Amino acid sequence: MNAETIFSKIIRREIPAVILYQDNLITAFRDINPKAPVHILIVPNLLIPTVNDVTVEDEVVLGRFFTAAAKIARQEGIDLTGYRLIVNCNHDAGQEVNYLHMHLLGGKFLSGFANKKF
């Protein structure tokens, strides 16, 4: 499956974005519609449409998601106060772009379901 998305164009730098990190596996850039003072998207450089499409071969890429998230959180000064990492899968979870991506959110207290006791 090789679908063209806005993320593909950002990775190739065909459209403008504030890219904070890029290597051979992933690209991280600021969200254009931030939900927190710090809102960064981390995407694989090769298309993986959803979490359902992840394979064993993608494990290195997904590990890089987390090491890059920690590095970016330090650079943004939110590593000690805290941040949230979110991955949505498909429509009902709120995935708007059919390209696996992780949201890194922080810079303020993040209320919501993650702070509630079940």
Catalytic annotation, residues = 101
Please list, in sequence order, all residues whose beta carbon lies within 8 angstroms of the beta carbon of residue 91, skipping any fewer than 6 positions away. Answer: none
38-44 and 83-86: which strand pairing? Answer: unpaired
Report how far residue 64's alpha carbon sits from residue 108's, in angstroms, rounded to the nearest whole number. 25
Please list, in sequence order, all residues whose beta carbon lies within 8 angstroms of the beta carbon of residue 110, skipping any fewer than 6 positions away. Answer: 36, 82, 84
Report how far residue 80's alpha carbon sits from residue 60's, in angstroms, rounded to the nearest whole number. 26
Report how far residue 48's alpha carbon sits from residue 40's, in angstroms, rounded to the nearest whole number. 18
